[in-house]
A and B are shown apart, each in its own frame.
Chain A
């Protein structure tokens, strides 16, 4: 499997989008491009499984390396393990769904699709890179289009939100850059190569400085408390596909970075700061959930609930057990799919009712059964109903967290568990007010989902069900990756 294809195809798609003459062509080119990408991601999944089944025990498969800046030891180095494979799959699912729900964008269609696909290039590159410089490069690619997406196609306080989001994320990446340079200069070898760095033991005093820099830097992307406030404003002002990308993919860039770069390269640092991570993420989980209860705007609600759900990613990483870490990655994928679907549904509802306030809706089940059924499904996934992906992720995190017998971890885990009740409260409030009750007269004639919306939803639900009903495949993919990270941590005295 040639991994460069995964970056090349969206690049070609983006170029082709720019060359197209009219909106119709732009849309279809984008759809075909992302569909090819989804197919490639599936091929990657099966190729990876075959390779592993045939006894290939390398940590990273399908590696490719091209020299880029030999004098600085920067090379274009790609490779995947199970964790990257599922993240690539997540990205391709969210991207195609995002393209589908944006079908009716009228304003600057070409530019819109171009930016969406540019964003996806950033995400693919980020998940595939084994060279920290390249990884950072792709991370930046994934930030800038968001600013434009919100600033141009957004709604509400869009300038404020776009500024806030871009500045906070830039701040995060500045920290990441400093951390990366620290790592680079720490070793005699001077390398950005992830594999080489993992074999060099970075000096402990460097780790104590660089780990928090990298973790907080990536953490800003993942709504690490108290750097999460770009999430509500950013999501609620972004256009639907923008929110889907933001919550579905970019928040996962941070989680992936925390795991792959910060925790993997600096086990001593991870161990040193693990308790702080746990405290902050427990706060995010519970406090985010309580703050969600008070939201009346559906987008704000899902944004705050994302803070709470993504808290489980950092919580799982901070627990430093193989199971919890596996759970953290499953949660990234699960939350990515779920929240993308949630924002898609909110977008569909908004397009029809022209409101996002739950108090102004009601009885929508009667007029648009398909969309409200989606709302039910995604709500149930959010509150961790078995059979859907959220349950698998949360349970794996809880099981992993409970492996620690001491009181600190126990209390944190019990507090985190309590979120399942709070989540149920706010989800049911929102869903029942939106979907149930008697329908308003002004909504009596709205129509149900169109083909593009249905297709987008079905794609995302397929992912949610594939994890929720048969979680063993994703567990098998992620666990070896988590195990390698854990092995380094276990060696720390």
Chain B
């Protein structure tokens, strides 16, 4: 049987770690903080796996359908009857999957950081922030209440902010952490208003009740939400679009993707955990959590999800082909892969065979977490060795970093969708779902998979082949090594995941309606993506395996497009224009000026006028009796005249 205490401990343990290390780490656990945090997380991981196992194989299934269990719920803040923020645990297949993914990747990152962050002055602070993030992320996925998810949504945002800005004396890191927070905050504004709308129409904030009321045909809540409309679109669809804006912000979908590449300023293990495997997929998770409402009651909003996902997948892949900073390539690749997950959800229907996209999306989320975390940790070990992020400083590293090389290759094959690695299975399923529902999106997805293979192997060949390693690097290797056991163990474990995770029969566990989804394997449909992937790999090999001038020539021949992609389609410039020129110069500056000069000016004017008048009339009380007599006389005459002429 499932004990709620154990589940509650999964997020609470990292929280305890955060408090312990945050309050006392600097003083008492300067060197042991890493070990403490890692042990705490190991326990949490075991509990998460235990919970998932119990759920999937013992308690979760009733009459062949996975249930949404709520083993724990406390009222946190009650607004009115039935409308309250609860702190609770909602267990369903995607929660259990996320619990395992988050704790596992986080554990890998904790272990990896033991070596990677060694010697860092704020070692304890680093681990306490990791604990805060892991806590918030775990609490986010177990949320039973839409406001609970918003609360932890904000908290993961702030932990991401703290970790991106970890090297706070670097101006670029400071700018990046601000940007990440503000862009996602802007998106959260949409999420917040969406929640307000949903709570207004459904009269609840509880996920299960909310979904039930807004999907069962004939319920009064649903009919009012559908009948009131704005600009020809129903209120419910607007609410779901607003919620999706929040999701798109967190998941760095176009046009809110601008913060993610800059977020790479954070320590590399953090990028692996937050900006690749867990936090950025929170948007996908949110759409999946509310999927029944999207699919059954707001299909237009779901269409939007599909197209935003597809466009993000494609554009990010193009940009990734031109970037030279290896972490930025991986960041754009993350956007692209999350785009896959989004459009898979977007093309999915609720229930049965047509719900394949939902399963595929969650499957890809799972496999992506493995291979993308692996890619980032691999990149970390390269950066650790070379002390640079730029591809031009690398080359021929396969002999110097053998374990990194092999694991990186596994991850590249996985993300490129080459069988039998994990990415192949999930991507194949996504494309199958797209093929069944929306041909345009299928072709975009297919083309993107070719681009994915190309930019990943451009990276791979550029780092590990290309030129011969420089002599200084070889000398470096002798006394530096590859980073030690703590860095290699996570790479190997994740590589095993990236290689083998595809064989999990995902449809048995995760599906849109909780029933088992028998996914068939379509050989003819898997030929196309694999071919595209192989073509991408061969082009990359031809261009980058040996150092030559072909890439530059090609770049020159498509100069305009290349420049456009290299500059990330000028999205950053657009945002700078909007914020600096419009909001700053046209709103904030005039507001401050208006306040200082007009509003306060009026107040001062009142004061000055009073002073002026009193100065003028203060001579009246002079104490001279003759003057008083004169005033008296004038006033008496004036009053007399008044009486005579006006008072009739």
- The interface of chain A, by Cβ under 8 A from chain B, is 163-164, 167-168, 226-229, 287, 290-291, 293-295, 304, 322-323, 363, 365-366, 369, 380, 383, 385-387, 391-392, 395-396, 398-400, 402-403, 405, 413-414, 417-418, 420-421, 424-425, 428-429, 432, 435-439, 470-472, 475
Instruction: Say whether B192 faces chain A, with CB atoms less than 8 Å apart.
Output: yes
Known A229-B599, A424-B182; contact A386-B589, beta-carbon cutoff 8 A: no
Residues of A contacting B588 in the complex (Cβ-Cβ under 8 angstroms):
290-291, 293-294
Interchain CB contact under 8 A, B83 and A432: no
Partner of A421 from B171, B182, B197 at Cβ < 8 Å:
B182
Instruction: Say whether B521 faces chain A, with CB atoms less than 8 Å apart.
Output: no
9 tightest CB-CB pairs across the interface, nearest first? A294-B592, A386-B151, A436-B168, A290-B591, A293-B588, A229-B600, A402-B196, A290-B588, A424-B185
Interchain CB contact under 8 A, A322 and B80: yes
Partner of B168 from A227, A295, A365, A428 at Cβ < 8 Å:
A365
Interchain CB contact under 8 A, B186 and A421: yes
Interchain CB contact under 8 A, A399 and B78: no
Residues of A contacting B152 in the complex (Cβ-Cβ under 8 angstroms):
386
* Residue in A295, A420, A424, A439 with the greatest tally of chain B CB atoms within 10 Å: A424
Residues of B contacting A363 in the complex (Cβ-Cβ under 8 angstroms):
168-169
Interchain CB contact under 8 A, A472 and B78: yes
Quick one: closest A residue to B147, CB to CB?
A: A395
Instruction: Say whether B587 faces chain A, with CB atoms less than 8 Å apart.
Output: yes
Other A-B contacts than A291-B591, A293-B592, A386-B154, 18 sampled, CB-CB below 8 A, are A164-B607, A226-B599, A287-B591, A291-B592, A323-B79, A366-B169, A385-B158, A398-B192, A399-B79, A402-B199, A403-B80, A403-B200, A405-B200, A417-B196, A424-B181, A429-B178, A436-B174, A475-B77
Interchain CB contact under 8 A, B80 and A293: no
Residues of A contacting B154 in the complex (Cβ-Cβ under 8 angstroms):
385-386, 391
Instruction: Say whether B573 faces chain A, with CB atoms less than 8 Å apart.
Output: no
Quick one: closest B residue to A399, CB to CB?
A: B79
What is the bound-complex CA distance between A436 and B174, given in angstroms? 7
Interchain CB contact under 8 A, B592 and A167: no
Quick one: closest B residue to A400, CB to CB?
A: B79
Interchain CB contact under 8 A, B192 and A420: yes
Chain B positions 169 through 201: 1 when the CB is less than 8 Å from some CB of chain A, otherwise 0:
101001001100110011011001100110110
The total of Cβ contacts below 8 Å across the A-B interface reads 121
Interchain CB contact under 8 A, B182 and A472: no
**Shortest CB distance B172–A (Å):** 11
Residues of B contacting A287 in the complex (Cβ-Cβ under 8 angstroms):
591, 595
Instruction: Say whether B524 faces chain A, with CB atoms less than 8 Å apart.
Output: no
**Shortest CB distance B33–A (Å):** 16
Instruction: Say whether B155 faces chain A, with CB atoms less than 8 Å apart.
Output: yes
Partner of A437 from B155, B174, B186, B607 at Cβ < 8 Å:
B174
- The interface of chain B, by Cβ under 8 A from chain A, is 26, 75-80, 83, 85, 147, 150-152, 154-155, 158, 165, 168-169, 171, 174, 177-178, 181-182, 185-186, 188-189, 192-193, 196-197, 199-200, 584, 587-589, 591-592, 595, 599-600, 602-603, 607
What is the bound-complex CA distance between A163 and B602, given in angstroms? 16
**Chain B interface, >50% SS class:** helix
Interchain CB contact under 8 A, B165 and A432: yes
Interchain CB contact under 8 A, A421 and B80: no
**Shortest CB distance B221–A (Å):** 14
Residues of A contacting B196 in the complex (Cβ-Cβ under 8 angstroms):
398-399, 402, 413, 417
Interchain CB contact under 8 A, A387 and B189: no
Known A323-B79, A387-B155; contact A420-B185, beta-carbon cutoff 8 A: yes
Residues of A contacting B185 in the complex (Cβ-Cβ under 8 angstroms):
383, 420-421, 424
Interchain CB contact under 8 A, B192 and A438: no
What is the bound-complex CA distance between A438 and B77, given in angstroms? 42
**Shortest CB distance B243–A (Å):** 14
Quick one: closest A residue to B154, CB to CB?
A: A386
Interchain CB contact under 8 A, A417 and B600: no
Partner of A291 from B26, B199, B595 at Cβ < 8 Å:
B595
Interchain CB contact under 8 A, B182 and A418: no
28 contacts between A and B (CB under 8 A): A168-B603, A287-B591, A287-B595, A290-B588, A290-B591, A293-B584, A293-B592, A294-B592, A304-B595, A383-B185, A385-B158, A386-B150, A396-B77, A398-B192, A399-B199, A405-B200, A413-B196, A417-B189, A420-B185, A420-B189, A421-B185, A421-B186, A428-B181, A432-B165, A432-B178, A436-B165, A437-B168, A439-B169
Interchain CB contact under 8 A, A436 and B169: yes
Interchain CB contact under 8 A, A402 and B200: yes
Quick one: closest A residue to B85, CB to CB?
A: A395
